[in-house]
Amino acid sequence: MHSVSGRWKLGLLLALATAGFWATLPIALKVAVQEVDVITLTWFRFSFAALGLGLWLQLRGGFARFAELGRRQWGWLSLAALMLIGNYVFYLLGLDYTTPANAQLIIQLAPLLMAIGGIFVFKERFSLGQWLGLALVALGMWWFFSDQLDQVGGARYTFGVWMIVVAALVWAIYALIQKQLLLYLSSPLILCFIYAVAAVGLLPFASPAALLRLDQGQWLALLYCALNTLAAYGAFAEALAHWEASRVSVVLALTPLLTLLSMELAQWWLPGLVAPESLGWLGVLGALSVVLGSAITSLLGRRRAG
């Protein structure tokens, strides 16, 4: 069984870095998608990540483990790739129809759906406290969604929400498959394969020439999105090496609140960069409930396992 290094301060710093990367990503995506279509943007992110991670893996021993896979493992790996590609595309589609804070809060369904899936697939168990945490998340989601229907409303917002729900669902399926694949491959090898498959598979549907129309600000946003893919998962993996998973999860549960803060800072620093958030008291209460419920689920899960 893996044991952490005990360097909790470094683990905390890396977890905060991960949350910061994920909190600011939807803002950068929102800027980039103004000029580049969803498929081209996703293709660029996957291509950049495949090249960067592929070079890093080559320096650390290469890809020999792939030769040990059987037909079933290749099938699961291909399905995992399809699910993660779907996550990226559906998330961007949803983000195009809603706001960064909305997208970041609703995507919190992803790890919770994974946890519920683990109950049925891997026969994991939840304590009563964890079920209460999940109930608090569900209630918070409902409060937040109800508030946004009143504040924003319309079929456009509802469509965006459903796209992000689908993104959360396919990510949960991907994560459950990856958990099984970790018996055969490391996480970086799995991700590198998925990035490479996505880069090749999306190329016929992408429009690389559209990248030539980007101005300097949009290019910076696009490059940040690409770098974010590598940096966020790298910081996340290192955080787990130095700090308990439950503690890391609690920090990551703060991501929606950090997104709201990032939106306020973006409006102050670069007014008009993205549309401001519109939150009523019920929306704020819903966001806080989602964060608190996620934290409860993570912490009580660790205690039960320990």
Which pLDDT value is given to residue 204? 94
Q: Rounded distance, CA 201 to CA 63, Å?
A: 20
Domain assignment of residue 3, yes or no: no
* Cα angle 33-39-43, degrees, rounded to a multiple of 5: 100
Which pLDDT value is given to residue 51? 94
Domain assignment of residue 91, yes or no: yes
Report residue 6: phi and psi, to 5°. Answer: 90, -5
Sign of the torsion formed by the C-alpha atoms of 157, 163, 166 and 171: negative
Tell me the CB-side half-sphere exposure of residue 129, using CA atoms within 13 A.
11
Q: Tell me the C-alpha to C-alpha distance, in Å, between residue 249 and each of 5, 18, 84, 124, 297.
A: 17, 11, 20, 18, 9
> What total number of domains does the chain contain?
1
Domain assignment of residue 1, yes or no: no
Q: Which two tokens stand for residue 300?
A: 């009580």
Q: Which two tokens stand for residue 160?
A: 């965006």
Domain assignment of residue 2, yes or no: no
| Section 9-31 average pLDDT | 86
Chain centroid, CA 135 distance in Å: 21
Sign of the torsion formed by the C-alpha atoms of 235, 238, 244 and 246: positive
Domain assignment of residue 215, yes or no: yes
Which pLDDT value is given to residue 140? 86
Range of the domain at 176: 8-305
Contact (Cβ atoms closer than 8 angstroms) between residue 94 and residue 28: no
- pLDDT beyond 70 at 206: yes
- pLDDT beyond 70 at 90: yes
Domain assignment of residue 224, yes or no: yes
| Section 251-260 average pLDDT | 79
The DSSP call for residue 33 is: T
Query: Which pTM was predicted?
Result: 0.80
